[in-house]
A and B are shown apart, each in its own frame.
Chain A
Amino acid sequence: MELTPHVQEKLHAGHKLTAVVEAGLVQDFIKNTRVVALIEVASTHVKQGGEQALLIFQTARVPVHSAIDLSIEQVIAVDTNLKCEIDTSSLDVDTDVLVNITSGKVRLLFEMPFSQRTNAFVSEILRAAEVVSKRRGPPPEFAWLQPYQKSSTSSQDPASPGSAPTTADTLDGLGGDAVSLGDVSVDICQNLSSTYPDPANCNTENSSVHTENERSPDLGVNRHSIATGLSPTPIAARESHIRYQMAMREDAYTDIQEFTVFVGTWNVNGRSPTVGLAEWLAVDAEPPDVYAIGFQELDLNTEAFLFNNSPKEQEWLNAVLNGIHPKTKYRKVRLVRLVGMMLIVLVQEKHLAYVRNCAIDTVGTGIMNKMGNKGAVSVRLDLHNTSICFVNAHLAAHQEELERRNEDHDCIFQRTCFHLNITSNSPPKTIKDHEHIYFLGDMNYRINPCDMNIREVASSGEFKLLLQHEQLTQQKNAKRIFHKFKEGNILFKPTFKYDVDSDEWDSSEKARQPAWCDRILWYGDSITQLEYRSHPQLQISDHKPVSAIFMAGIKVVDTRRYRRIYEEVMKKLDKLENEFLPQVTIDTTEIILEPVKFYQSQTKYLTIANTGQVPVQFEFIKKLNDVTYCKPWLSIRPYSNFITPGEKCDVSLEVLVDKQTAAQLNSGVDQLYDILVLHLEGGKDLFITITGDYERSCFGSSINALVHMNKPFRDVPVAKLIDLESKQPKELSEMPYAVPKELWYLVDHLHSHGLQVKGLFTHPGLQKEIFEIRTCLDEGVEHQVLPGSVHSVAEALLLFIEALPEPVIPYSLYQAALDATPNFSLCKEVINKLPDYHRNVFEYLMAFLKELLNHAEDNTLDANTLAHVFGSVLIRESSAVAGSSDRRNQNQAIERKKQTFVHHFLMND
């Protein structure tokens, strides 16, 4: 079970194993065992130590015995792109936690046992991710991971340049794909393609989770993997799984609809809205679907600064509401303000119903990294099925504060955190968790000093030259900030810094250089910018307002298709649940016995093969009103067992008709017929019918029936046998024997051949000979000769007496017989009460025994021994009584009484 040494062995020199855990990787509807390891490179190996990565291993067997069992399936660099989330909705399961690991388009869902180890592992990943997010400077390269990627079994990402596929796309400041739900891993798309003709934009080329050849298209389960314990098991947390599946299939039930989004930003320099804003907000012919309007320096008062309390908020909100497009109605989604930063998000009234999960957050990056004079205010929401985030930022001012601005940028991305309402159960979201992100504000990036006259060029309209020296553009190109974000071409004059109420550059003492402080950037695949412009007509501030119009592809759910797919998912889960029910195949459901003879056992075998996908615990169970799971003449071994998938279990069914069961079969009360119920724990039941013919025998027949049989037992028709065994037989013989002829043959044989034999009735006979004697008695004795040794005949005699369904001393007189033992005459009274033929048998046997004792010198028998042997077969208690426990305690005393009873007759008569 200890994985560490085996994983360590797979690592290259200088790489250290931080934590490792065994987990179930959820793939489609099943999960497969993986080993997940967090590794770290020593600081000497890379410029900046502490780079970490996740290695995901496939395992050839469970548990892992050596490093050979492990093969690298996937390598995931721990960069700012990596996210590790615990699915909180599954926390009611106290055995497993669902851990979501996403990195760009790779999205993996693991089930990990709820254990210390998992806890430690997840904490390590979170710690590693935090280290990366705090890190400064150029993004890590992860070149040290190359050797692992070579050996990785998964397909290399062809879209990425050679070196480090999983990291080539790494974002530094910002996580990349914000895990758009449409970007699903390839195997799921492939599985889907059969069900859905158009799995839409499944981004197959960019996935590195699995290749087709690794997995069969359906849920075929490899026998070997089952045998080795690698069998996939059904997903645990159904609810979270449905959510996961629905997210994966999003493309199949959503349509992209174009929405226009107006984004505006204006540093208003503490002024009040003395002019209408229509020239900024409503210059386009058609009204946008969404407005996101950001302000900075809304209020420069210390009151606002210290207590975040400002009358300007309402003033500007009113101005906005008055200035927006008049053609249609808007509703405010959220307004968020921190000191001078304010962001207002509005949507057309008709869209309001499709806006969900709104949340806001503010981050102050001012003094002590806390005060709200700088920082960002943000709003997030889901519009239909697309997650959107608006960030209105105000970064550090001044030409030389470039690095400070960069840090503010980092800080905003790191610290902004939206808490959705508690009931939705989802983890908090960061900015990069959104599919569409609009980042607007007074970024305060300036134009570096250069050999141009910035003011002149800025006024001329030759912005291209100037933009080469523009800090934000430079920093972005260097991937220091806004990685993966886009910005439209800037075709407008710098928006800073003007003399108030004019279009003149700053004429104050400070004579600030013009700069494009006010910017709008965006992130997201399906967004196109239509306009990017400034609005110099608005002159009340030293900044000009900027706006951008976007065409954004929003995923709109088609409820009909959603419902259908939801049902598909449910159906598939149901189907799986049925498939994961225990399944066995049995080689026969009907067992036909060869003719069964008295006291001769016969064994049949039943093979139970586990043909299902899960281990089976089987058990033969009782039927209604039955006391036992099978008839008394049958014994099943094992009657309960455990079979792993692909394995078999042979069950033996032994049939033995003995003295206890023969009578019932003879009399037709019972038959050799039984239906066994083979129950699979947690699953179905199978019925197994067992049938056979019992060859009736004089053994097990009653004295009263036998004396009326003048023919060999075998020649008596079954109907007559049953009739004779009934309470009131119709067909009695006219000339009944005094004692059953079979008894006579047995005794006569012993009389003729055994009187002088030493050890008679104490020496055991041979099983085989006893069968022969039985057959001979049943079929008719020729020449009064029985086969076998006298010992076998002696044992057959005892067996015959013991098999009598009604003992020689009938059950009804059992207690009387025991009570009579102190006194011989009482015993004789009991004998006088016996039914005629029983009394005959008793007296006949006593006479024979006395004769035996007459030859005691030869056969060495004594009265005590004989009385004991015969007492126990002649006097028997009914099995119903025999069962009770206090009886059993008195067993010895009873045996002694039985002996005494017989002893009287041997000695006193």
Chain B
Amino acid sequence: MSLTYVDRLLYFWFKMSAGPYNYSYIFKYIIIGDMGVGKSCLLHQFTEKKFMADCPHTIGVEFGTRIIEVAGQKIKLQIWDTAGQERFRAVTRSYYRGAAGALMVYDITRRSTYNHLSSWLTDARNLTNPNTVIFLIGNKADLDAQRDVTYDEAKQFAEENGLMFVEASAKTGENVEEAFLETAKKIYQNIQDGSLDLNAAESGVQHKPTQPGRTNLNNDSQTNRDNCSC
């Protein structure tokens, strides 16, 4: 009886996973940075073109997608927005693997979020592949009056560490599009000039669309324990 329903579901997943979308690549992005710097708002602004002022705290890893065009190629971005709380740090580290792009965000009105960048950068460097494009975003550029980090020092930090950099605002949308697109362009360029090996398991780029989820947080295959104690 319920066959049609199940069919529909299977069908739906088929569509979502391997539907005939007209894109050639999937790039995986992660967004990292301290809590409250506006990571989720940036993601939302990018996928929905809206500012979500009362964005709930991310407790986990949000997922968003959008199709963009780079050099005439359609590319699907799969974006993982991680929880910034220190206590989740150990868990969110699992999500770095296989990211083609990392957007590292601080809040220009809160110096502490800038000071923590080196620790985020260490994680990003250690946990992603050497070709992962890291893009630094100084968010909340609309709050210039409350600025606590100058553009120049951040720019210098970016240069010293070989990062791409903009100041952006998830509120006004300023430079948001640019940050995501520039990252994609850079990744695409890496593919074109051969420095990013698509066959490498952790390139973060897929040629064929596959299901977004099911990131195996672990190296080895999952042991589905039904019962942990006794």
List A residues at the B interface (Cβ < 8 Å): 1, 22, 62-63, 90, 92-93, 95-96, 113, 229, 233-234, 236-239, 570-571, 573-575, 577-578, 580-581, 589, 614-615, 621-637, 639-640, 654, 656, 658, 660-661, 675, 677-689
Contacts and interface: CB of A to CB of B under 8 A. Distances in A.
In the complex, which range does the number of interface residues on chain B fall in?
35 or more
14 contacts: A90-B20, A92-B20, A95-B14, A234-B12, A238-B20, A615-B9, A622-B217, A624-B91, A634-B228, A639-B224, A639-B225, A679-B215, A684-B61, A687-B59
Given A92-B20, A571-B49, A681-B213, A635 B229 contact: yes
A623 B217 CA distance: 5
A686 B21 contact: no
Nearest to B22: A239
Contacts of B146: none
Nearest to A571: B49
Interface string B206-226: 000001111111100011111
A234 B19 CA distance: 11
B94 interface: yes
Contacts of B227: 635
A656 B224 CA distance: 19
Nearest to A92: B20
A233 B64 contact: no
A34 to B, nearest CB: 13
A687 B229 CA distance: 21
Contacts of A658: 229-230
Given A575-B47, A679-B213, A656 B91 contact: no
A589 B59 contact: yes
Contact of A683 (B21, B97, B213): B213
A639 B226 contact: yes
Contact of A229 (B5, B214, B215, B224): B5
A92 to B, nearest CB: 5
A221 to B, nearest CB: 14
Given A236-B15, A238-B21, A628-B228, 5 more contacts: A1-B1, A90-B20, A574-B65, A679-B213, A684-B60
Contact of A621 (B17, B217, B230): B217
Nearest to B214: A681
A31 to B, nearest CB: 11
Contact of B88 (A626, A637, A675): A675
B200 interface: no
A232 to B, nearest CB: 11
A627 B65 contact: no
Nearest to A633: B229
A283 B215 CA distance: 74
Given A623-B91, A639-B226, A678 B12 contact: no
Interface of B: 1-5, 8-9, 11-17, 19-22, 47-49, 59-67, 83, 87-88, 90-91, 93-95, 97, 211-218, 222-230
A677 B60 contact: yes
A660 B229 contact: yes
Contacts of A575: 47-48
Contact of A62 (B4, B48, B67, B225): B4
B5 A628 contact: no
B213 A233 contact: no
Nearest to A684: B63
A625 B219 CA distance: 8
Contacts of A571: 49
Nearest to A657: B229
A683 B61 CA distance: 9
Nearest to A573: B67
Nearest 4 A-B pairs (CB), nearest first?
A: A686-B60, A624-B94, A682-B213, A684-B63
A687 B87 CA distance: 11
Nearest to A570: B67
Contacts of A627: 223
B26 to A, nearest CB: 13
Nearest to B44: A578
A580 B12 CA distance: 10
A624 B88 contact: no
A682 B63 CA distance: 9
Contact of B4 (A1, A96, A234, A236): A1
Given A229-B4, A589-B59, A623-B218, A578 B64 contact: yes
Interface centre among B5, B17, B48 (most CB of A within 10 A): B5
A98 to B, nearest CB: 11
Contacts of B88: 675, 687
Contact of A675 (B1, B87, B95, B215): B87
Contacts of B228: 628, 630-636
Contacts of B4: 1, 22, 62-63, 229
A236 B64 contact: no
Given A1-B3, A22-B4, A675-B87, A238 B60 contact: no
Contact of A677 (B17, B48, B91): B91
